[in-house]
Structure 1
Amino acid sequence: MYRTTTHDITVTVTPRFLEEHSDAEKSRWVWAYTVEIENGSGLTVQLRSRHWHITDGLGRVQEVEGPGVVGEQPVLEPGDSYTYTSGCPLGTPSGIMRGHYEMEAEGGTFEVTIPAFSLDLPAGERVLN
């Protein structure tokens, strides 16, 4: 589990390897990650967009950005939380993801950090990518 707090918004990420969707012979390894966003601020906020920086085990980088998450732009009142699960395929058996959300509140927009998290095989050696 990986966690960080920005502007009183806490983002917790829990990745897991999906062996049933992976195929080493085709150089395809797949992970799911569950994200919980907790609004510890006194403001109502809306998640407007996401930006991911994904690095595979060979150092190749892919940037992914777009509106919302899993087709939604959730609104979080003070004290609310929102959880979703998504996935990431890689061409190597390890990698790392990090990023940020753009949030909107009454005073404007601001970024909330998504903590860097490692994508490793359960029995594999931990590799710093």
Structure 2
Amino acid sequence: MVSQITNGIKVSVKANYIGSSVFNNYKVYNFTYRITIDNNSNDTAQLVTRHWEILDALNPVKYVDGVGVIGKKPIIKPGESYSYESYCSLFSPFGAMLGFYSMINLATATLFEVTIPRFKLYAPFAIN
């Protein structure tokens, strides 16, 4: 598990390899990741957008931007946390993801970015 704190918001990530499959006649390697966002600040914050950089050992970096996470824009009060699980497929057994969330401090209406720490995606069979 990796974690990082930005502006009192802690983002922790744990990734797992869940097997391979075939997509458009190519073998892909599938991973899930669980993210927990802890609000250790003094103000309530809302996650509004996400930005991902997906690194696949066999392909150029892929950028993904979107509203919220898994269809939600969670509001996280001080001392509370929010967790969700998602997935990623790569064309190689090695890669990584990193990015940031754009969040709004609801007390001040200030928009700020929270770093999603870089985490590795790897199929255990590929490690020697």
Is this a same-fold pair by TM over 0.5? yes
Distance 2:60 2:30 in 1: 16
1:110 maps to 2:116: no
Superposition deviation, residue 122 in structure 1: 1.6
Q: Name the % identity.
A: 40
Farther-moved stretch of structure 1 (109-118 vs 25-34): 25-34
Residue 54 of structure 1 aligns with an amino acid whose one-letter code is I
Write out aligned runs for 1:10-49 (5 A). Answer: 10-19=10-19, 22-23=20-21, 26-49=26-49
Distance 2:60 2:45 in 1: 33
Taking structure 2 as the reference length, the TM-score comes to: 0.92
* Corresponding residue for residue 122 of structure 1: 124
Moved over 4 A (4+): none
Residue 23 of structure 1 aligns with an amino acid whose one-letter code is S
Taking structure 1 as the reference length, the TM-score comes to: 0.91
Q: Is the 8 A contact 2:44 2:76 kept in 1?
A: yes
**Bigger fraction of residues in strand:** 2
Superposition deviation, residue 30 in structure 1: 0.6
Q: Is the 8 A contact 2:58 2:91 kept in 1?
A: no
Residue 123 of structure 1 aligns with an amino acid whose one-letter code is F
Superposition deviation, residue 59 in structure 1: 5.0
Superposition deviation, residue 67 in structure 1: 0.4
Gaps of 5+ in 1: none
Q: Is the 8 A contact 2:53 2:62 kept in 1?
A: yes
Task: Report the aligned-residue RMSD.
Answer: 1.5
